[in-house]
């Protein structure tokens, strides 16, 4: 199995990028030190996502950044992405694994301990937990008010694979998520909608790293 150690994880969505292209946002995030990029782009057809994915794959491959495709196992395979991220209503984790092979990274969105334990048992490499603070993004809005860092702690106690917190996460509130047991955080708007995606990525990474350092010392923010 693959065990990604991501601190910052960009989920792309051109509709919140203030008119900038997804490759432009991805390039800025890479310059800011992002660890992984998920090609999401809800609302686009498979052909458009494939063509965009080829551009993003070129950027991430050159930078050594992992590229994950949301939902679409076929697109992930077609663009030679590093893996796929599936939700509770998508193809099962085990099926995605069979289609992409043992070297692929397979992530799964969960919001409860039961879902997390099942995803781990089915072979997920990491979990996306959320929505942490609530979000307008439908595919991560498991709870419109957010499940909170407390749920991250519960799931972290129940599984042994990495956890990424998503949903309403910013540099200002990422610390409690990391201290609750998340390996890192995934964001859409915090980077994509930022005036300076590079600076936003750097701020997010700093917030997570600071929280992890405090955690190691047994301190709280």
pLDDT at 134: 77
Residue 36 within any structural domain of the chain: yes
For residue range 97-119, list pLDDT tens digits in order. 999 999 999 999 999 999 999 99
For residue range 65-84, list pLDDT tens digits in order. 999 999 999 999 999 999 99
pLDDT band per the 50, 70, 90 thresholds, residue 3: confident
* CB contact set of 128 (below 8 Å; sequence gap of 6+): 85, 107, 108, 109, 110, 140, 164, 165, 166, 186
The larger pLDDT score, comparing residue 140 to residue 148, is at 148
Number of domains in the chain: 1
By C-alpha distance, which of 153, 155, 152, 136 is closest to 15? 136
pLDDT at 141: 44
The residues carrying an active-site annotation are: 40, 109, 138
Residue 35 within any structural domain of the chain: yes
CA atoms of 162 and 109, how far apart (whole Å): 12
Residue 2 within any structural domain of the chain: no
CA atoms of 2 and 8, how far apart (whole Å): 17
Residue 220 within any structural domain of the chain: no
Residue 204 within any structural domain of the chain: yes
Which pTM was predicted? 0.94
Annotated binding site: 38-42, 70-71, 90, 109, 135-138, 168, 188-189
CA atoms of 198 and 148, how far apart (whole Å): 27
For residue range 45-67, list pLDDT tens digits in order. 999 999 999 999 999 999 999 99
pLDDT at 144: 62
29 pLDDT more than 70: yes
pLDDT at 108: 98
Reported for 101-104, long-range contacts at CB under 8 A and 24+ positions apart, including other chains, are 103/2, 104/2, 104/76
For residue range 156-204, list pLDDT tens digits in order. 999 999 999 999 999 999 999 999 999 999 999 999 999 999 999 999 9
Residue 201 within any structural domain of the chain: yes
pLDDT band per the 50, 70, 90 thresholds, residue 221: low
pLDDT at 136: 60
Q: Which range marks the domain in which residue 97 is found?
A: 8-215
Residue 1 within any structural domain of the chain: no
Residue 38 within any structural domain of the chain: yes
φ, ψ of residue 51 in degrees (nearest 5): -65, -40
Helix (H) or strand (E) holding 107: strand 105-110
Reported for 120-125, long-range contacts at CB under 8 A and 24+ positions apart, including other chains, are 120/159, 120/160, 120/161, 122/92, 122/93, 122/94, 122/97, 123/1, 123/93, 123/94, 123/97, 124/93, 124/161, 125/1, 125/2, 125/3, 125/4, 125/83, 125/161, 125/162
213 pLDDT more than 60: yes
CA atoms of 149 and 165, how far apart (whole Å): 8
Annotated binding site for Mg(2+): 71, 90
For residue 8, give the 3-state DSSP assignment.
strand
With vertex at residue 124, the alpha carbon angle to CA 140 and CA 184, rounded to the nearest 5 degrees, is 55
pLDDT at 142: 45
Mean pLDDT of the chain: 94
CA atoms of 20 and 65, how far apart (whole Å): 21
- Domain of residue 136, CATH code: 3.20.20.70
């Amino acid at each position: 199995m693959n065990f990604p150690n991501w601190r910052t994880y960009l989920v792309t969505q051109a509709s919140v990028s203030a008119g900038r292209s997804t490759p432009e946002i991805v390039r800025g995030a890479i310059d800011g030190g992002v660890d992984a990029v998920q090609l999401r782009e809800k609302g686009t057809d498979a052909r458009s996502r494939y063509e965009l994915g080829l551009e993003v794959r070129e950027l991430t491959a050159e930078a050594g950044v992992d590229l994950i495709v949301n939902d679409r196992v076929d697109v992930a395979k077609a663009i030679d992405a590093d893996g796929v991220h599936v939700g509770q209503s998508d193809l099962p984790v085990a099926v995605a694994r069979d289609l992409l092979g043992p070297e692929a990274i397979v992530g799964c969105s969960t919001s409860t301990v039961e879902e997390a334990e099942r995803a781990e048992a089915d072979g997920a490499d990491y979990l996306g937990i959320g929505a942490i603070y609530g979000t307008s993004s439908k595919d991560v809005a498991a709870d419109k008010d957010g499940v909170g860092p407390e749920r991250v702690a519960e799931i972290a106690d129940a599984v042994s694979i990495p956890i990424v917190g998503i949903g309403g996460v910013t540099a200002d509130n990422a610390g409690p998520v990391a201290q609750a047991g998340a390996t890192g955080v995934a964001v859409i708007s915090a980077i994509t909608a930022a005036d300076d995606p590079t600076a936003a990525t750097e701020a997010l990474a700093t917030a997570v790293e600071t929280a992890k350092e405090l955690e190691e010392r047994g301190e709280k923010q």
